Amino acid sequence: MERNQLLESLSADTLTEIQSQLSQRDVQLSFTPEPTVNIAGRTMLVELFVDDVTTTPKVQPMLLADEISSKQSKKLHQHGIWFADARGNMFLSGTGFLINIEGRRGNYQTHPNKPSSISLFTGRRSQVIALLLSYDELLNQSRRTIATAAGTSVGTVQQTLELLEATHYLHPGASAVYFPDKQQLLSAWARSYAAGLGHQTKLLTAEGEVPEIDEEFLLSGEAAVADLLINPQTADLYVADRTTAALTMAKHKWRQSQDGNLIFRRQFWHTPKREVPPAIVYADLISHDSPRLTEVAREYAIGRLGV
């Protein structure tokens, strides 16, 4: 199995389980875009980005493997080395959290021709899915058109469509392909957003008054659905890059703050419409983990995404 396939088949599933273990704590985890070391065979050392509100965000090395024996896990544990295997055994320790799962012996088997649905929602593939969910007309456009819109390669689009079909999210109809259950795909994709694509696009956070429409950025999240709620308290602002975010923050006299209500994110898509794709607005809404915004997100999805 190629290096990137191993990363997808092991790290994506592992990250999802780890994040579920920490769902009640203010900790976000994500894998940096590229693994740093391929140890040997089906064992890999990756970099895990740990964003804990009580400490400074850091990059933490973590060992991934198909199987880590009890003897090996004890040695890793003694040296404080984070690890996880495909059977769900894992050890992670940090400020305010400890995960130590041992003894799982399931018959897990990775296979490139039988992809996990979770592997769909890694980085670039998540970008493709976001655009396909947002604009129905894109689904039956050329691979190159989709790639341009999503800011990815044609190869990534092809791989994503193949995985969508293999996991039954996409159905090849007689005259056109379609999502047989768009709501199910939206929900699965959006659940992975905060620790995946949402984290990768995050640039910086600021404190200030929630802005209205401006030429310097595109609004998402709470500020983009002002017609569905009164007095939005937060905003997700999409800009070209970190420099643009910093200049915009200075212009509006917003103060950079780790716990700020304004989140600057990197725009990755390219479409004729000057808006944040509706699926991303939906994901930004539910990523705030607020019952109020979750209800607003449901209403927004019905109106803009038809689900």
Rounded to two decimals, the pTM is: 0.65
- End-to-end CA, the chain: 37
Contacts for 289 with CB less than 8 Å, ≥ 6 apart: none
Cβ–Cβ < 8 Å for 278, 304? yes
* pLDDT per residue as tens, the chain (307 positions): 344 444 444 445 555 556 555 544 445 555 444 444 344 445 556 555 565 545 566 667 778 777 788 888 888 888 778 888 777 788 887 766 677 787 776 544 444 444 444 468 888 999 999 999 999 999 999 999 999 999 999 999 999 999 999 889 999 887 889 999 999 999 999 988 988 899 999 999 999 999 988 888 999 999 999 899 888 999 999 999 999 999 999 999 999 999 999 999 999 999 999 999 999 999 999 998 888 899 999 999 999 999 9
Contacts for 265 with CB less than 8 Å, ≥ 6 apart: 198, 201, 202, 203, 220, 236, 237, 238, 239
Distance CA 257, CA 79 (A): 35
The tokens describing 245, both together, are 């975010």
Distance CA 277, CA 149 (A): 10
The tokens describing 296, both together, are 């607003």
- Antiparallel, parallel or unpaired: β 97-101 and 90-94: antiparallel
Distance CA 98, CA 93 (A): 4
Burial of 159-190, coded b for 16+ CB within 10 Å and e otherwise, reads bbbebbeebebbeeeeeeeebeebeebbebbb
Residue 235 forms beta bridges with which residues? 262
Burial of 39-65, coded b for 16+ CB within 10 Å and e otherwise, reads eeebbbbbbbbbbbeeeeeeeeebbbb
Q: Phi and psi at residue 175, in whole multiples of 5°?
A: -115, -15
Cβ–Cβ < 8 Å for 112, 6? no
For position 166, what pLDDT does the model report? 87
Residue count of the chain: 307
Q: Which residue has the tokens 């090395």?
A: 61
- The pLDDT tens digits of the residues spanning 89-123 come to 888 877 666 777 877 765 444 444 444 444 688 88
Cβ–Cβ < 8 Å for 238, 214? no
For position 288, what pLDDT does the model report? 86
The tokens describing 199, both together, are 């984290």
For position 47, what pLDDT does the model report? 59
Cβ–Cβ < 8 Å for 236, 288? no
Cβ–Cβ < 8 Å for 35, 46? yes
Distance CA 92, CA 84 (A): 9
Q: Phi and psi at residue 12, in whole multiples of 5°?
A: -65, -45
AA identity, residue 244: T
CA max distance for the chain: 59
- Residue among 19, 9, 91 at smallest CA distance from 49: 19
Backbone dihedral region of 123: left (phi > 0), alpha (psi from -120 to 50 degrees) or beta?
Answer: left
